[in-house]
Structure formats: structure tokens, C-alpha cells
Amino acid sequence: MNNQKILVVDDDISIRRLIWKSLQSTGVLIYQSDSIEKTLDIMTRVTFDLFLLDISLEYENDGYHLAQLIRADYPLTPIIFISGKKSETDIINGLETGADYYITKPFSPNLLRAQILSTLQRMKTIQSQKTNPTSRVLKVGDFTFDKNLYQLQKRGQDIALSSKEIQLMLFFLENPNQVFSKEQIYANVWNDGEIDNNLIMVYISYLRNKIEDDSKKPRYLKTVWGIGYTFSPDGE
């Protein structure tokens, strides 16, 4: 991981130092910023593999705006929010603005380190697969997924997905017409400890908004009441 770069954006220097200290032995290159303006300037010169953002910078919700700016140019680069905001609404807002994970303060440096390293390793694997010249196209019902380009199509139309949405969609594409509990989905897609039911419901909603003709009447990604979810690739 010696060539991988992350950008830590937090106006609290003690938090930036704590994150730097927890990662300094990993070989990951750590850049720091304390504002949107500085972050955008750094991004003109450096391409990052992961962003670590606080929500409250100069203004209370700067981090949300910054995540949207990052997502516009880097739709697949992982974003992790680290915030003192702990309400369910705050967490959902963070995920809806494009974050892949949301970690509340105070946090365990060791757990944060593990989350960062596992996310970087996953993205490194994705990048290596994208450069593999062997075509790997998965066709399931109305959907086509190119594993080299990590591009989803529905009836020939491109559908843009975030990195976590890609992982969730690929899980369903590889396991069509099966019923999975929330626990099973979390274990296969997140695989990082205690299940977060709200996180699963948020991302199911994201996928429905993108793949369904009418997200309020899902034909592909269906709820199986009392159990979990099933994916019907033909929309039947």
C-alpha cells in the first residue's frame, strides 16, 4: 500500500495528528487539510485513493458539501465521514451525500485504521481487476455488469453507482432469485462487525432509486417481509 494516498480533512489538528499517528507505520501517504478551499486546491495536484472527512469545518455542514464536490469528480473513490454528529438523521445524511462509511467521534484509532486499510485494499483489488484485459461481463436478466469497468447497464442504459452501491448490486447479480436476511447481506457486502440495519435500508433505497422504473413499486429489488430482500433480475 506504499503508493496509496489519503486526504484527511478536519479542522481539529489533534484529530488529524491522531489519524496520522495511527497510520504512519502502514506506508500510506497521508495528506491533511482543514477547509474546503484547501482541499480543492490539493485535489488539483494529487489524486487520492480515499477521503476522510469531518462534517463540521468552517461551517456546520461543510463536510456534506465537500463530499458532493468530491463525488462529482471521483464517483468511485471511497469517502469515510468522521463526525461528532451521532443522530440517525446525521448518519443517513452523510451516506446520502456519498459517503461509504460513517464513524462517530470519539473513535478507536485501531478500528479506524483497520477500516481504512481494508477499504484501500478493496479498492486496490478493484483497480487491478479493471486493468485486467480479460473481459468479464455478467449478464443477468435486464442487467449487464462489466467487472473490468465496474459499469452497470439496465437494458443497455448506463447506471452510475457509488463504490458501495456497486458491491451491493454485484452481490445481488451474482445471487439472483434468492432470499437474503439483512444479516447475510451485511456479512457479504460490509463484513466489518456488528450489523447496521439502517445502513442496509439506506443502500437498498439508493439502489431502488437507480434501477427501478418506479422505486415505490419495486419489481427487481423486493422486500420479503420478516426475512430480508430478494433480487429478481427479470423484474417478475
Overall CATH class of domain 5-130: alpha beta
Distance CA 117, CA 168 (A): 20
Distance CA 210, CA 218 (A): 11
219: pLDDT strictly greater than 90: yes
Q: How confident is the model at residue 130 (pLDDT cuts 50, 70, 90)?
A: low
* 137-231: CATH number: 1.10.10.10
DSSP string covering 66-131: HHHHHHHH-TTS-EEEEES--SHHHHHHHHHTT-SEEEESS--HHHHHHHHHHHHHHHHHHHHHHT
This prediction has a pTM of: 0.61
Distance CA 153, CA 158 (A): 4
Quick: pLDDT tens for 30-86: 999 988 899 999 999 999 999 999 988 877 678 888 998 998 888 888 999 998 888
The answer to whether the CB of 125 falls within 8 A of the CB of 119 is no
pLDDT at 217: 92
1: pLDDT strictly greater than 50: no
186: pLDDT strictly greater than 80: yes
- Mean pLDDT of all residues in the chain? 86
By DSSP bridging, strand 5-9 and strand 50-53 are parallel
C-alpha cell at 113: 485504521
Q: Return the bridge partners of 51, or none.
A: 7, 79
Distance CA 236, CA 184 (A): 23
DSSP string covering 191-206: -SSS--HHHHHHHHHH
Ranges in the chain annotated CATH 3.40.50.2300: 5-130
Ranges in the chain annotated CATH 1.10.10.10: 137-231
For 53-67, 107-121, 157-171, which range has the lowest pLDDT when averaged over its residues? Answer: 53-67
